[in-house]
A and B are shown apart, each in its own frame.
Chain A
Amino acid sequence: MKSNFKVFLKGIIDVSPLMIPVVPFGLIFGVLAIDVGFNPIETMAMSLIIFGGASQIVLLQLFSGGASSLVIISSVGAVNSRHLLYGAVVSEHLSDLKLIWKIIISYFLIDQAFAISNEYLKKNKDHNRYFHLVGGGATCWVIWQSTTFLGIILGAAIPEKLGLSFAVPLTFLALLVNDFRKFINVIVIIISGLVATFGYSYIPFKAYVIVAALAGLFTAMILTRKNKKA
Protein backbone atom coordinates (compact mmCIF):
# COMPACT_ATOMS: atom_id res chain seq x y z
CA MET A 1 0.00 0.00 0.00
CA LYS A 2 1.29 3.46 -0.90
CA SER A 3 1.62 6.07 1.81
CA ASN A 4 -1.18 8.62 2.23
CA PHE A 5 1.12 11.34 0.99
CA LYS A 6 2.00 9.43 -2.18
CA VAL A 7 -1.65 8.89 -3.03
CA PHE A 8 -2.34 12.60 -2.33
CA LEU A 9 0.58 13.50 -4.63
CA LYS A 10 -0.75 11.19 -7.34
CA GLY A 11 -4.05 13.07 -7.15
CA ILE A 12 -2.23 16.38 -7.64
CA ILE A 13 -0.32 15.07 -10.65
CA ASP A 14 -3.37 13.48 -12.27
CA VAL A 15 -5.55 16.57 -11.94
CA SER A 16 -2.92 19.04 -13.20
CA PRO A 17 -3.82 19.01 -16.91
CA LEU A 18 -7.42 19.82 -15.99
CA MET A 19 -6.24 22.90 -14.09
CA ILE A 20 -5.24 24.84 -17.23
CA PRO A 21 -8.81 25.95 -18.08
CA VAL A 22 -9.53 26.74 -14.43
CA VAL A 23 -7.06 29.65 -14.61
CA PRO A 24 -9.00 31.84 -17.10
CA PHE A 25 -12.28 30.76 -15.47
CA GLY A 26 -11.12 31.99 -12.06
CA LEU A 27 -9.76 35.25 -13.49
CA ILE A 28 -13.02 35.92 -15.32
CA PHE A 29 -14.99 35.26 -12.16
CA GLY A 30 -12.88 37.68 -10.13
CA VAL A 31 -13.11 40.42 -12.74
CA LEU A 32 -16.87 40.03 -13.25
CA ALA A 33 -17.76 39.85 -9.58
CA ILE A 34 -16.23 43.27 -9.01
CA ASP A 35 -17.88 44.47 -12.22
CA VAL A 36 -21.42 43.55 -11.08
CA GLY A 37 -20.91 45.22 -7.72
CA PHE A 38 -19.53 42.79 -5.17
CA ASN A 39 -16.66 44.09 -3.07
CA PRO A 40 -13.29 42.27 -3.03
CA ILE A 41 -13.95 40.56 0.32
CA GLU A 42 -17.36 39.27 -0.78
CA THR A 43 -15.81 38.05 -4.02
CA MET A 44 -13.08 36.15 -2.21
CA ALA A 45 -15.68 34.76 0.21
CA MET A 46 -17.71 33.40 -2.69
CA SER A 47 -14.75 31.40 -3.92
CA LEU A 48 -13.94 30.18 -0.40
CA ILE A 49 -17.49 29.36 0.70
CA ILE A 50 -19.10 28.18 -2.53
CA PHE A 51 -15.96 26.84 -4.27
CA GLY A 52 -17.75 26.01 -7.52
CA GLY A 53 -17.11 27.85 -10.78
CA ALA A 54 -20.46 27.24 -12.45
CA SER A 55 -22.41 28.08 -9.28
CA GLN A 56 -20.52 31.31 -8.76
CA ILE A 57 -20.93 32.49 -12.34
CA VAL A 58 -24.66 31.71 -12.30
CA LEU A 59 -24.90 33.71 -9.09
CA LEU A 60 -23.24 36.71 -10.77
CA GLN A 61 -25.30 36.42 -13.93
CA LEU A 62 -28.64 36.36 -12.12
CA PHE A 63 -27.55 38.91 -9.52
CA SER A 64 -26.61 41.42 -12.24
CA GLY A 65 -29.93 40.71 -13.98
CA GLY A 66 -31.78 41.69 -10.82
CA ALA A 67 -33.15 38.24 -9.93
CA SER A 68 -34.51 37.67 -6.43
CA SER A 69 -32.45 35.80 -3.86
CA LEU A 70 -34.78 32.82 -3.88
CA VAL A 71 -34.40 32.43 -7.64
CA ILE A 72 -30.62 32.81 -7.44
CA ILE A 73 -30.35 30.19 -4.70
CA SER A 74 -32.60 27.68 -6.44
CA SER A 75 -30.79 28.22 -9.75
CA VAL A 76 -27.48 27.57 -8.01
CA GLY A 77 -29.04 24.44 -6.55
CA ALA A 78 -30.15 23.33 -10.01
CA VAL A 79 -26.66 23.90 -11.44
CA ASN A 80 -25.29 21.83 -8.58
CA SER A 81 -27.60 18.88 -9.00
CA ARG A 82 -24.86 17.16 -11.00
CA HIS A 83 -22.93 16.80 -7.73
CA LEU A 84 -25.61 14.40 -6.53
CA LEU A 85 -24.42 12.08 -9.26
CA TYR A 86 -20.77 12.48 -8.28
CA GLY A 87 -21.60 11.86 -4.62
CA ALA A 88 -23.61 8.76 -5.40
CA VAL A 89 -20.78 7.38 -7.52
CA VAL A 90 -17.93 7.96 -5.06
CA SER A 91 -19.93 7.14 -1.92
CA GLU A 92 -19.24 3.40 -2.20
CA HIS A 93 -15.51 4.11 -1.90
CA LEU A 94 -15.99 6.29 1.15
CA SER A 95 -18.59 4.27 3.02
CA ASP A 96 -16.33 3.09 5.86
CA LEU A 97 -14.71 6.46 6.51
CA LYS A 98 -15.33 8.55 9.63
CA LEU A 99 -17.93 11.31 9.30
CA ILE A 100 -15.27 14.02 9.64
CA TRP A 101 -13.53 12.72 6.50
CA LYS A 102 -16.83 12.65 4.63
CA ILE A 103 -17.39 16.28 5.63
CA ILE A 104 -13.93 17.28 4.40
CA ILE A 105 -14.06 15.28 1.17
CA SER A 106 -17.49 16.70 0.26
CA TYR A 107 -16.00 20.19 0.11
CA PHE A 108 -13.51 18.95 -2.51
CA LEU A 109 -15.98 16.99 -4.63
CA ILE A 110 -15.74 19.19 -7.72
CA ASP A 111 -15.97 18.39 -11.43
CA GLN A 112 -12.26 18.05 -12.08
CA ALA A 113 -11.41 16.05 -8.96
CA PHE A 114 -14.34 13.74 -9.58
CA ALA A 115 -13.30 13.19 -13.20
CA ILE A 116 -9.82 11.95 -12.34
CA SER A 117 -10.44 10.27 -8.99
CA ASN A 118 -13.42 8.29 -10.22
CA GLU A 119 -11.00 6.38 -12.46
CA TYR A 120 -8.44 5.94 -9.71
CA LEU A 121 -10.99 4.80 -7.11
CA LYS A 122 -12.36 2.18 -9.47
CA LYS A 123 -8.94 0.66 -10.19
CA ASN A 124 -7.49 0.91 -6.71
CA LYS A 125 -8.62 -0.93 -3.60
CA ASP A 126 -6.22 0.45 -0.96
CA HIS A 127 -7.89 1.74 2.15
CA ASN A 128 -6.34 5.20 1.74
CA ARG A 129 -7.37 5.62 -1.91
CA TYR A 130 -9.58 8.60 -1.04
CA PHE A 131 -6.44 10.72 -0.55
CA HIS A 132 -6.34 10.86 -4.34
CA LEU A 133 -9.62 12.81 -4.38
CA VAL A 134 -8.37 15.13 -1.64
CA GLY A 135 -5.16 15.76 -3.64
CA GLY A 136 -7.08 16.64 -6.80
CA GLY A 137 -9.59 18.79 -4.94
CA ALA A 138 -6.94 20.64 -2.93
CA THR A 139 -4.99 21.44 -6.11
CA CYS A 140 -8.07 22.92 -7.70
CA TRP A 141 -8.79 24.84 -4.49
CA VAL A 142 -5.38 26.55 -4.59
CA ILE A 143 -5.74 27.47 -8.28
CA TRP A 144 -9.32 28.71 -7.86
CA GLN A 145 -8.55 30.93 -4.85
CA SER A 146 -5.40 32.42 -6.36
CA THR A 147 -6.97 33.14 -9.76
CA THR A 148 -10.02 34.71 -8.08
CA PHE A 149 -7.63 36.93 -6.15
CA LEU A 150 -5.75 37.87 -9.33
CA GLY A 151 -9.05 38.59 -11.10
CA ILE A 152 -10.08 40.96 -8.30
CA ILE A 153 -6.81 42.88 -8.68
CA LEU A 154 -6.89 42.87 -12.50
CA GLY A 155 -10.57 43.81 -12.59
CA ALA A 156 -9.86 47.46 -11.91
CA ALA A 157 -7.39 47.59 -14.79
CA ILE A 158 -9.59 45.99 -17.45
CA PRO A 159 -11.66 48.44 -19.53
CA GLU A 160 -15.38 47.77 -19.81
CA LYS A 161 -15.17 48.22 -23.58
CA LEU A 162 -13.59 44.78 -23.90
CA GLY A 163 -16.96 43.20 -23.15
CA LEU A 164 -15.45 40.58 -20.91
CA SER A 165 -18.89 39.51 -19.73
CA PHE A 166 -19.08 37.66 -23.04
CA ALA A 167 -16.56 35.27 -21.48
CA VAL A 168 -19.39 33.86 -19.36
CA PRO A 169 -21.38 32.18 -22.15
CA LEU A 170 -18.06 31.17 -23.74
CA THR A 171 -16.93 29.46 -20.56
CA PHE A 172 -20.13 27.45 -20.33
CA LEU A 173 -19.97 26.71 -24.03
CA ALA A 174 -16.48 25.34 -23.45
CA LEU A 175 -17.77 23.03 -20.73
CA LEU A 176 -20.11 21.45 -23.27
CA VAL A 177 -17.56 20.72 -26.03
CA ASN A 178 -17.85 16.97 -25.61
CA ASP A 179 -21.65 17.05 -25.51
CA PHE A 180 -21.87 18.72 -28.92
CA ARG A 181 -20.81 15.42 -30.43
CA LYS A 182 -23.76 13.47 -29.04
CA PHE A 183 -27.08 13.69 -30.82
CA ILE A 184 -29.41 13.59 -27.79
CA ASN A 185 -27.26 16.15 -25.96
CA VAL A 186 -27.47 18.53 -28.93
CA ILE A 187 -31.27 18.33 -28.91
CA VAL A 188 -31.31 18.93 -25.15
CA ILE A 189 -28.96 21.91 -25.57
CA ILE A 190 -31.15 23.49 -28.26
CA ILE A 191 -34.40 22.98 -26.31
CA SER A 192 -32.96 24.42 -23.11
CA GLY A 193 -31.41 27.36 -24.96
CA LEU A 194 -34.60 28.23 -26.81
CA VAL A 195 -36.76 28.01 -23.69
CA ALA A 196 -34.33 30.25 -21.81
CA THR A 197 -34.06 32.83 -24.60
CA PHE A 198 -37.77 33.15 -25.32
CA GLY A 199 -38.76 32.68 -21.70
CA TYR A 200 -36.31 35.33 -20.52
CA SER A 201 -38.90 38.11 -20.68
CA TYR A 202 -42.01 36.05 -19.99
CA ILE A 203 -41.11 33.58 -17.24
CA PRO A 204 -41.61 35.42 -13.93
CA PHE A 205 -38.93 35.97 -11.28
CA LYS A 206 -36.07 35.30 -13.72
CA ALA A 207 -36.77 31.61 -13.17
CA TYR A 208 -35.88 30.94 -16.81
CA VAL A 209 -32.75 29.01 -15.84
CA ILE A 210 -34.75 26.49 -13.85
CA VAL A 211 -37.61 26.25 -16.35
CA ALA A 212 -35.19 25.77 -19.25
CA ALA A 213 -33.19 23.15 -17.35
CA LEU A 214 -36.34 21.19 -16.51
CA ALA A 215 -37.45 21.37 -20.15
CA GLY A 216 -34.02 20.08 -21.17
CA LEU A 217 -34.07 17.22 -18.68
CA PHE A 218 -37.60 16.29 -19.68
CA THR A 219 -36.45 16.16 -23.31
CA ALA A 220 -33.55 13.94 -22.30
CA MET A 221 -35.95 11.65 -20.45
CA ILE A 222 -38.18 11.21 -23.47
CA LEU A 223 -35.35 10.76 -25.95
CA THR A 224 -33.41 8.24 -23.88
CA ARG A 225 -36.51 6.18 -23.26
CA LYS A 226 -37.22 5.94 -26.99
CA ASN A 227 -33.60 5.10 -27.57
CA LYS A 228 -33.82 2.01 -25.41
CA LYS A 229 -36.97 0.61 -26.96
CA ALA A 230 -35.60 0.92 -30.47
Chain B
Amino acid sequence: MSNWTLILYCGLITYLTRFSMIALIKKEMFNDRVREILSFVPSAIFPAIIFPAIFINERGLFEIDDNPKILAAIIAMFIGIFSRSIIATIFSGLASYWFLIFVV
Protein backbone atom coordinates (compact mmCIF):
# COMPACT_ATOMS: atom_id res chain seq x y z
CA MET B 1 0.00 0.00 0.00
CA SER B 2 1.42 3.40 -0.91
CA ASN B 3 1.83 6.11 1.71
CA TRP B 4 -1.02 8.04 0.12
CA THR B 5 -3.46 5.13 0.27
CA LEU B 6 -2.48 4.54 3.88
CA ILE B 7 -3.08 8.20 4.78
CA LEU B 8 -6.47 8.18 3.03
CA TYR B 9 -7.64 5.03 4.80
CA CYS B 10 -6.48 6.32 8.18
CA GLY B 11 -8.29 9.59 7.48
CA LEU B 12 -11.41 7.75 6.44
CA ILE B 13 -11.55 5.56 9.54
CA THR B 14 -10.89 8.56 11.78
CA TYR B 15 -13.66 10.52 10.11
CA LEU B 16 -16.11 7.63 10.24
CA THR B 17 -15.69 7.18 13.99
CA ARG B 18 -16.63 10.85 14.38
CA PHE B 19 -19.43 10.87 11.84
CA SER B 20 -21.17 7.54 12.47
CA MET B 21 -22.68 8.37 15.84
CA ILE B 22 -23.72 11.86 14.82
CA ALA B 23 -25.35 10.84 11.57
CA LEU B 24 -26.62 7.33 11.86
CA ILE B 25 -27.23 6.31 15.38
CA LYS B 26 -29.52 7.64 18.04
CA LYS B 27 -28.14 8.42 21.43
CA GLU B 28 -30.23 5.73 23.10
CA MET B 29 -28.17 3.04 21.38
CA PHE B 30 -25.44 3.64 23.94
CA ASN B 31 -26.45 2.72 27.42
CA ASP B 32 -24.59 3.92 30.50
CA ARG B 33 -22.59 0.72 30.68
CA VAL B 34 -21.18 1.11 27.15
CA ARG B 35 -20.36 4.75 27.85
CA GLU B 36 -18.61 3.82 31.05
CA ILE B 37 -16.45 1.29 29.20
CA LEU B 38 -15.70 3.70 26.35
CA SER B 39 -14.49 6.27 28.88
CA PHE B 40 -11.62 3.86 29.60
CA VAL B 41 -10.44 3.82 25.98
CA PRO B 42 -7.60 6.36 26.53
CA SER B 43 -6.33 4.45 29.59
CA ALA B 44 -6.51 1.18 27.68
CA ILE B 45 -4.82 2.27 24.48
CA PHE B 46 -2.27 5.00 25.23
CA PRO B 47 -0.09 2.75 27.44
CA ALA B 48 0.25 0.41 24.46
CA ILE B 49 2.14 3.25 22.78
CA ILE B 50 3.90 4.56 25.89
CA PHE B 51 5.40 1.37 27.36
CA PRO B 52 7.05 -0.14 24.26
CA ALA B 53 8.44 3.29 23.30
CA ILE B 54 10.18 3.41 26.67
CA PHE B 55 11.20 -0.21 27.27
CA ILE B 56 11.89 -1.52 23.76
CA ASN B 57 15.06 -0.25 22.07
CA GLU B 58 15.73 0.46 18.38
CA ARG B 59 16.67 -3.17 17.77
CA GLY B 60 13.32 -4.36 19.12
CA LEU B 61 14.79 -5.71 22.37
CA PHE B 62 13.54 -5.24 25.90
CA GLU B 63 15.94 -2.90 27.69
CA ILE B 64 15.83 -2.09 31.37
CA ASP B 65 19.51 -1.55 32.31
CA ASP B 66 21.16 1.67 31.24
CA ASN B 67 17.89 3.04 29.88
CA PRO B 68 17.49 6.74 30.75
CA LYS B 69 13.98 6.78 29.27
CA ILE B 70 12.59 4.90 32.26
CA LEU B 71 13.68 7.43 34.87
CA ALA B 72 12.74 10.36 32.62
CA ALA B 73 9.25 8.93 32.10
CA ILE B 74 8.77 8.38 35.83
CA ILE B 75 9.78 11.98 36.54
CA ALA B 76 7.38 13.19 33.84
CA MET B 77 4.59 11.05 35.28
CA PHE B 78 4.96 12.54 38.75
CA ILE B 79 5.19 16.08 37.39
CA GLY B 80 2.03 15.31 35.40
CA ILE B 81 0.12 13.90 38.35
CA PHE B 82 0.90 16.92 40.52
CA SER B 83 0.73 19.71 37.96
CA ARG B 84 -2.08 18.26 35.80
CA SER B 85 -0.37 20.14 33.00
CA ILE B 86 0.22 18.50 29.63
CA ILE B 87 3.03 20.91 28.77
CA ALA B 88 4.80 20.49 32.11
CA THR B 89 4.64 16.71 31.67
CA ILE B 90 6.17 16.71 28.19
CA PHE B 91 8.90 19.22 28.95
CA SER B 92 9.91 17.80 32.32
CA GLY B 93 10.28 14.40 30.64
CA LEU B 94 12.38 15.76 27.77
CA ALA B 95 14.49 17.90 30.10
CA SER B 96 15.19 14.93 32.41
CA TYR B 97 16.02 12.74 29.41
CA TRP B 98 18.48 15.28 28.01
CA PHE B 99 19.98 15.79 31.45
CA LEU B 100 20.50 12.03 31.81
CA ILE B 101 22.05 11.48 28.38
CA PHE B 102 24.13 14.65 28.03
CA VAL B 103 25.11 15.60 31.59
CA VAL B 104 25.12 12.50 33.80
Chain A residues in contact with chain B, CB under 8 A? Answer: 20-21, 24, 38, 42, 45-46, 49-52, 54-59, 61, 63, 69, 72-73, 76-92, 94, 99, 102-103, 105-107, 109, 162-163, 165-181, 184-185, 188-190, 192-198, 200-201, 208-209, 212-217, 219-221, 224
* Contact (Cβ within 8 A) A61 B19: no
B40 to chain A, nearest CB (A): 4
* Contact (Cβ within 8 A) B25 A88: yes
Complex partner residue of B27 from A92, A209, A215, CB under 8 angstroms: A92
A198 to chain B, nearest CB (A): 8
B88 to chain A, nearest CB (A): 8
Q: Which residue of B lies closest to A55 (CB)?
A: B14
Give the secondary structure class of A's interface: helix
On whether A217 and B62 interact (CB within 8 A), knowing A106-B18, A176-B43, the answer reads no
Q: List 9 A-B contacts (CB under 8 A).
A: A72-B6, A87-B17, A90-B22, A105-B22, A170-B73, A172-B47, A172-B50, A177-B80, A209-B49
* Contact (Cβ within 8 A) A177 B49: no
Q: What 6 A-B pairs have minimum CB-CB distances, sorted nearest first?
A: A87-B21, A216-B44, A49-B11, A193-B51, A21-B86, A193-B47
* Contact (Cβ within 8 A) B14 A50: yes
Residues of A within 8 A of B53 (CB): 61, 165-166, 168-169
B87 to chain A, nearest CB (A): 5
Q: Which residue of A lies closest to B62 (CB)?
A: A197
Q: At the interface, yes or no: B66 with Cβ under 8 Å from chain A?
A: no
On whether A76 and B13 interact (CB within 8 A), knowing A92-B27, A189-B47, A216-B45, the answer reads yes
Residues of B within 8 A of A105 (CB): 22
Inter-chain CA distance A88–B22, complex, in Å, is 6
* Contact (Cβ within 8 A) A177 B86: yes
Q: At the interface, yes or no: B99 with Cβ under 8 Å from chain A?
A: no
* Contact (Cβ within 8 A) A175 B17: no
Inter-chain CA distance A138–B11, complex, in Å, is 17
Inter-chain CA distance A209–B56, complex, in Å, is 14
On whether A193 and B44 interact (CB within 8 A), knowing A91-B21, A109-B18, A181-B81, the answer reads no
Residues of A within 8 A of B3 (CB): 38, 42
* Contact (Cβ within 8 A) B45 A192: yes
Complex partner residue of B7 from A49, A173, A184, A224, CB under 8 angstroms: A49
Inter-chain CA distance A103–B15, complex, in Å, is 9
* Contact (Cβ within 8 A) B52 A49: no
* Contact (Cβ within 8 A) A178 B90: no
On whether A99 and B23 interact (CB within 8 A), knowing A81-B38, A176-B42, the answer reads yes
* Contact (Cβ within 8 A) B84 A213: no
Taken residue by residue from 21 to 49, chain B's Cβ proximity to chain A (1 for < 8 Å, 0 otherwise) reads as: 11101110110000111111111111111
